[in-house]
Structure 1
């Protein structure tokens, strides 16, 4: 039995006195690629932010490798939602990726040629080496997302959290990102991804966490991602369209 890598116990969080997460409990084993899936407002992004101390918890405990986040933060990579980033900040793609190395370099210390090579290698892996000197504000949404993934990759973390990395990107970028995520899994990294497209869950993830303010179902995709469990998470906002995995989302008022 693989050792537990991430453990979340009785985690709760709120925004403006409204409870967003309630009594969240789950464990994650190493070398897994997990999709965090649930309806809008389910607390998916809040879950990641609370686990990473970016949002305060009301109750609960989160541990990585058996330790609290501050003690292991250098071993954890995070890609936020693209919409939460100030893309007008005057910096180029290479500088953005190099920021992922500051844990090694140290703040306010000069980067060396080896750091530049590491950053360029990460950009090349994402097909963005030719854009290294391009201002990030001049890049398309998909290109920006590739740069941010390159920044996470250059950290060489053991655990990666990604908040909707496939939202609003073109098909080529989506496939490029998923190829990298599956490669990370294949070399023993652990990846958790907030994901919104139910049609691709089975092809993309080996584990699924179905969330709606609390964890409703969590485990291997073939066991957890069923018609009944998805309906449990989405309630009246999901309709089964027939076939193996055909869903249609509705907003009922």
Structure 2
């Protein structure tokens, strides 16, 4: 069963094409790494799929239906830099924002809602920070809070935009543990990711793009030097044990 079907999706920004006729489908219960160079349109693609960025053309279906009817089944973790972390609120309140689709914006959260939020914080090892102001958190802690907010939605499909950017190794492993758990439970996750060394360990599916779709499929078939060369626009130097650094090196 496909949870996402994208057909001929295109969009532009300031008269420049950012996405050029992308078509692909995502199966239920997969963990997909979205890979490509800076400026490839990865974040724009997520925003366009979610209706946060207008499209020029194309069709997008979630669970065989339009976005408007399926929003409650979708979770989204934006880039940390896109969030106003100076907003005067604490960690628990941020996580409970993920429940407003169930509670309603004009209703006061009840005890059961707070319990769900605390359980989500426990999964990302942040329960001790529940009353802390979000402006007082480190970058890694902030990312964990936003992951908890997505988890509390209990969505079927999750989009995550660079969840590992600026986090420490411990936080990265915590996040990956949660993502693998979601996959094992039958949820579907798509992650914009930059560290090529970790791709084979982290994802069972890979989507390579550079404005256009280069390749999409099982990691062992798609994550190759040939496809990566096409994605990054040049020959890729492969070293024993992985790529040279966090980004590919052109020969």
Residue pairs, 1:30-41, within 5 angstroms: 30-41=28-39
Cα distance, 1:181 vs structure 2: 0.2
> Which position in structure 2 is the counterpart of 1:245?
242
- Identify which range, 239-248 or 151-160, moves more after superposition: 239-248
Structure 1 Cα separation of the partners of residues 37 and 84 of structure 2? 26
Give the gaps of 5 or more residues in structure 2. Answer: none
CA distance in structure 1 between the aligned counterparts of 2:34 and 2:4, rounded to whole angstroms? 14
The Cα shift of 1:251 comes to: 8.7
Alpha-carbon distance in structure 1 between the residues aligned to 2:22 and 2:168: 33
Q: CA deviation at 1:244?
A: 5.1
**RMSD after superposition:** 1.3
Give how far 1:214 is off.
1.1
Measure, in 2, the Cα distance between the counterparts of 1:241 and 1:220: 20
Tell me the alpha carbon deviations over residues 94-138 of structure 1, each in whole angstroms, 9 at most, x when there is no partner: 000000000000012111000000001101111000100000000
Corresponding residue of 2:224: 226
Normalised TM-score (structure 2): 0.97
| Inter-partner Cα distance in structure 2 for 1:173 and 1:108 | 34
CA contact (8 A) 2:77 2:147 kept: yes
Answer whether contact 2:228 2:236 (CA < 8 A) is retained.
no
The equivalent residue for 1:163 is: 161
Q: Which of residues 80, 83, 87 is equivalent to 2:81?
A: 83
Q: Which moved more, 1:240-249 or 1:40-49?
A: 240-249
- What TM-score, normalized by structure 1, do the two folds share? 0.96
State whether residues 35 and 208 of structure 2, in contact with CA within 8 Å, keep that contact through their aligned partners in structure 1. yes
Q: Does the Cα contact within 8 Å between 1:209 and 1:217 map onto a contact in 2? A: yes
Q: Structure 2: how far apart are the matches of 1:200 and 1:250?
A: 12
SS of residue matched to 1:239: coil
Number of residue pairs matched? 249
Q: How far apart, CA to CA, are the structure 2 residues paired with 1:96 and 1:9?
A: 34
- Stretches of 4+ moved more than 6 A in 1? none
Alignment pair present for 1:104 and 2:102: yes
Q: 2:16 aligns with which of 4, 18, 27?
A: 18
Report the secondary structure of 2:242's partner residue.
Answer: coil
Is there any run of 5+ residues in structure 1 with no aligned partner, and where? none
**Preserved CA contact (<8 Å) 1:146 1:177:** yes
Any conservation in 2 of the 1:4–1:28 contact (CA below 8 Å)? yes
What is the distance in 1 between the residues matched to 2:241 and 2:125?
34
Q: Secondary structure at the match of 1:60?
A: strand
Give 1:246 deviation, angstroms.
Answer: 2.0
Q: Tell me the residue number matched to 2:128.
A: 130
Q: 1:11-68: per-residue Cα shift (whole Å, max 9, x none)?
A: 0011111110000000000000000000000000000000000000000010001111
Deviation of residue 74 (structure 1)? 0.2
Structure 1 counterpart of 2:50: 52
Q: Are 1:188 and 2:195 counterparts?
A: no
Mapped to 1, the partners of 2:80 and 2:171 lie a distance apart of: 14
**In 2, distance between residues paired with 1:158 and 1:241?**
36
